[in-house]
Amino acid sequence: MNTERNFILNRLKAFTYAAKGFWILITSEKSIIAQTIIGVFMTIIGFIMNISATEWMFQIFAIGLILVAESLNTGIEKLADFVHPEFHKEIGRIKDISAGAAFFAAIFAVIIGLIIYIPKFIL
């Protein structure tokens, strides 16, 4: 019973730490704020263009994918700066790879966006 209670308490604590991280990201990280603004903009476009339920699912998924990748990239950048604040070739490579993950997400989000909106503007 006690271990069960500890398990629930630990999960609750982990949830509050994660919520704290979420708050830090959306209030102080410029890249996340910028991506959030783009996400809100695309949501407004979605309403204007009256996209279908399936298109909404893909669009929300794409926005989420970008925000998740960008958040993890930010975390890795912070960790790299903390463990090695000075310039180092390997730190540069690690940061580039981490940014590459966000770039991957962006490529697929753009593809999803083109599939949704090109037919609406051309047809």
Ligand X SMILES: Nc1ncnc2c1ncn2[C@@H]1O[C@H](COP(=O)(O)OP(=O)(O)OP(=O)(O)O)[C@@H](O)[C@H]1O
Question: Which residue number, 42 or 70, has a Cβ lying nearer to ligand X?
Answer: 70
Question: How many CB atoms are closer than 10 A to CB 97?
Answer: 11
* Contact string (CB under 6 A) for ligand X, positions 66-85, x = contact: -----------x--------
Least distance from C-beta 50 to ligand X, angstroms? 35
Q: Which of 13, 20, 88, 120 binds ligand X (CB under 6 A)?
A: 88
91 binds ligand X (CB under 6 A): yes
Q: Which residue is nearest to ligand X (CB)?
A: 92
Nearest to 18 by CA among 96, 75, 56: 75
Residues 6 or more apart whose CB falls under 8 angstroms from that of 98 comprise 72, 73, 76, 77, 80
Least distance from C-beta 91 to ligand X, angstroms? 4
Residues 6 or more apart whose CB falls under 8 angstroms from that of 116 comprise 51, 55, 58, 59
Residue numbers 11-70 binding ligand X by CB under 6 A: 31
92 binds ligand X (CB under 6 A): yes
Q: How far apart are CA 21 and CA 72, in angstroms?
A: 11
Residues in contact with ligand X by CB under 6 A are: 31, 77, 87-88, 91-92, 95-96, 99
